[in-house]
Amino acid sequence: MPSITIALVNPSKGSQGPFHRYIPPLGLLHLAAAVPDDDVYVYDGVISNGRVVALANEIRRIVPDIVGISVPFSTSSNAAIRLGLTLKSYLPSVLILGGGNHASFARSHLLDTGAFDLIIPGEGCDGFSTLVKTFKNGTRPLQQNYIDHWEHSRKKTKAKLNLPPPRWESLVEPFSIISYFPTIITSTGCKYSCPYCSTRSYWGHFRRRPLSEVYSDLETLPNRFGQMLLHILDDNFTQNRHFTFQVMKLLFERNIIWSCSCRLDDINQQFLYEMWCHGCRRLFVGVESGSERILSLYGGRKYSVKDAIALCGMAQKLNIEIVASFVVGFPEETIEDAHKTLQLIRKLPANNLGITSFTPFLGTSAYKRAIRTYPELAFSYNDMNINDNPRVGTKYMTLNEVRSYWYKAHRLVAARHLERYGERH
């Protein structure tokens, strides 16, 4: 079967990580590896600073047979739609696919725009390789087949995660001096069901990659990035402690220092010490709230405020950088709860703090609840952003009250950052 030309695209201008480096489009590189016999070019919006027309001009030079556009977040959907429509005006016969978290849940809307011919929901590798074979045989792929496959795969609790080693050579390098940050995916899914998070809805239960594949990925990283801090992109790296230990051992044997995201109730002080011994130097933790009532209601968090302070304090003593995030505007949040969150923001031992607003994204149970009270959300979910002004009130707080506490939280974080800056200078 002859090879075809495929362009896989992240249309946004990229996420900047530590050291002014960018997080690479790792999911697309894994997707490229699912079709090893074809000519695949992976484009990152960082090469055009998010300028859609410039990106489309680069893509049409290779005259692709298929273009796959990543739509992982609601904030990237408008750029993805513009890119799809622009490419269709340039290349009317090209097959344009959409994929990613937001595309999976907003597929009807995205198809209605005319920018996409097909949406592949959920984990893309299996569906994409099947689609390419179907395309080569001259058969029109059917949308429902990929929806059925996604629904089936999310129900599997022990199925192997099919994520072939990333095809780094497919990445079209940026034209400027912008550099990428080394990253790896070891698992997907989540054992928790937080109502404001779509990870469980999208990926299903926790699924891990075979250690042999993780080993293979780690072997290729030093040649490309040298000895840099590696970031593990898993939503919750510590949710399966046995698997976490196995991966940490691989990292330690290669003298790799690393960072990851975790839930505080998945670790204790002994485990935190083990993480440090195995090379962990940065932790992204969702502390979420200073109210233990809210922590219990949303995601069934089993740590107390005292636990959060103790764990973050120990991490700092071990020289592990803590990046902690908080959410303002939980649906059951009261003014008293919001006050407690402000108090914790003031005293939590952390290097960096982030404040987000409770955002009912598509694919979450929070969206289904919020749309009953705020029906206008059905027309704005394409530009929802956790960093924007809160869009909904709570059961006990008006929208203006929620926004007031959101601003207060941001001012507290700014004051802490200024205080740290003054200490260093």
Going from N- to C-terminal start, the domains of the chain cover 5-154, 182-424
DSSP state of 196: T
What does the pLDDT average to over 89-109? 91
Question: Residue 360 to residues 205, 212, 341, 377, 390: CA-CA distances in angstroms?
Answer: 21, 38, 20, 9, 10
425 vs 374, residue with greater confidence: 374
More confident position, 48 or 89: 89
Picking from 347, 283, 339, the residue whose alpha carbon sits closest to that of residue 310 is 347
- Across the range 34-55, mean pLDDT stands at 85
CA angle 113, 118, 122 (to 5 degrees): 110
Band (177; pLDDT cuts 50, 70, 90): very low
298-323: pLDDT as tens digits: 877 888 999 999 999 999 999 999 99
Choose the weakest-confidence range: 13-17, 38-42, 90-94, 207-211. Answer: 13-17
- pLDDT class of 123 with cuts at 50, 70, 90: confident
Q: What is the mean pLDDT of residues 250-264?
A: 93
pLDDT of 17 above 60: no
pLDDT reported for residue 176: 44
d(CA 163, CA 363): 23
Superfamily of domain 182-424: tm_1862 like domain (3.80.30.20)
The DSSP string of 361-393 is: -TTSHHHHHHHHH-GGGGGTGGG--TTSPP---
Nearest-angstrom CA–CA distance, 16 and 144: 36
Q: pLDDT value at position 205?
A: 83
Q: What is the pLDDT of residue 193?
A: 82
Q: What is the pLDDT of residue 202?
A: 82
Percent of the chain at pLDDT above 90?
A: 51
5-154 sits in which CATH class? Answer: alpha beta
Over residues 254-264, mean pLDDT:
93
pLDDT of residue 18: 46
The mean of the pLDDT values for the chain is 86
Lowest mean pLDDT among 104-108, 348-352, 364-368, 372-376: 372-376
pTM of the model: 0.88
Question: Residue 174: pLDDT above 70?
Answer: no
